[in-house]
Amino acid sequence: MRVLHFYKTYKPDSMGGVEELINQLCSGSARHGITSEVLSVSQNTTTVDHGDHLHHRAKLDVEIASSAFSTAAFKRFASLANQADLIHYHFPWPFADIVHFATRVRKPSIVTYHSDIVRQKVLLQFYRPLMNRFLASVDKIVATSPNYLATSPVLQRFRDKVEVIPIGLDPASYAAPAKERLQYWQERTDSEKFFLFVGNLRYYKGLHVLLNAMPGTDFRVVIVGAGPVEAALRQQTQRLGLERVDFVGPVDDDDKIALLTLSRALVFPSHLRSEAFGISLLEGALFGKPMISTEIGTGTSYVNVDGTTGLVVPPSDPGALRDAMQRLWDDDALAARLGRNARARFDAKFTAETMVDLYVDLYKRLIERRPSK
């Protein structure tokens, strides 16, 4: 079986949550004898060999409202799709809808629905007819959590063709941290405990709320990642006089694992439902860390169950966030109990093996039901 994934970005050009899910699917399904290829658009057009799957890149022409467009992608997609048994789209990316219809490829197809379109509300009014036609045309839509399915008007419209497959991670891909990296971060943080945030620094991550929660506290926070709101966050940190916030930028896997190992808890203040799941929450659970997140009606509250694996607070509420952080900062027993529960829930629901098995089963059912033409 051959599967083609189509999404606007992929490793090594971008290292976000969707890219990690695609990577886990490609690597995991290879162990089931499935050949996976990925097509994205990029300024770099060379093909990348990831060992167990290939990443093809069509020349990026322009980006409009965060959506990448490429004239070269039409021909490249048609060629790769004709060799595939199944097409796996990743939503939202309006350009993919256009390519899907323009190339007229008739293969079994699924869409993993990562997020509603939240920010571009005006453009959504123009895009909605195409979006609805696209989602109606594919064979299956996958939601990443029952929470998102229940709260998304778009998914409810197509409820009869939606299946829920939570995102999973492979614990074996997180090697034990080197002693020198642990020592380095212990010395750099200069603290016995700290809260950790990992992710792209984007408008919906709620980091401005986190910073507003910190004045007058003893918390240390380490922020891993880069993104378009970084400069504004640094300015806010200076304006508030916060001396225990450390922006460390993007880090490699060894350093991320060291920080996860050393951290007190994961803090994840995303305040808009553009945050559909939160893979860094999964990483926190994998490392047995308690989590703090907000209730935005998405998969974040499926990963982090209030009072069981961590604490869930209202979005955009610095006071509530500060109170939750204070509880985990002060109460060693509570932090340890929630962390143990987080790891247990990860093992039960969020391993890559479970996710891949469910996707492979779905692939096989679709191909058996509707053979490619």
- What is the residue type of 170? D
- Domain 2-170+352-369 matches domain 172-349 at the CATH topology level: yes
Residue 371 has pLDDT above 70, yes or no: no
Question: What does the alpha-carbon distance between residue 85 and residue 93 come to, in Å, rounded to a whole number?
Answer: 22
pLDDT tens digits, one per residue of 303-347: 999 999 999 999 999 999 999 999 999 999 999 999 999 999 999
CATH class of 2-170+352-369: alpha beta
Query: Six-digit token pair at 118?
Result: 């939240």
Per-residue pLDDT band for 370 (boundaries 50, 70, 90) equals low
pLDDT tens digits, one per residue of 186-232: 999 877 899 999 998 999 999 999 999 999 999 999 999 998 999 99
For residues 304 and 234, the answer to whether their CB atoms sit within 8 Å is: no
Residue 372 has pLDDT above 60, yes or no: no
Q: Per-domain residue ranges for the chain?
A: 2-170+352-369, 172-349
pTM over 0.85: yes
> How many separate helices (H) and strands (E) can be counted in the chain?
15, 16
* DSSP label of 351: B
Query: Six-digit token pair at 231?
Result: 């400069």
Question: What does the alpha-carbon distance between residue 109 and residue 370 come to, in Å, rounded to a whole number?
Answer: 10
Average pLDDT over the chain reads 94
Residue 63 has pLDDT above 90, yes or no: no
Beta-carbon contacts of residue 265 (< 8 Å; ≥ 6 apart): 195, 196, 284, 289, 290, 291, 292, 310, 325, 328, 335, 339
More confident call, 370 vs 326 = 326
Superfamily for 172-349?
Glycogen Phosphorylase B; (3.40.50.2000)
> What is the predicted pLDDT for the residue at 373?
44
Residue 52 has pLDDT above 50, yes or no: yes
The full length of the chain comes to 373
pLDDT tens digits, one per residue of 107-158: 999 999 998 887 777 677 888 999 999 999 999 999 999 999 999 999 999 9
> What is the predicted pLDDT for the residue at 152?
94
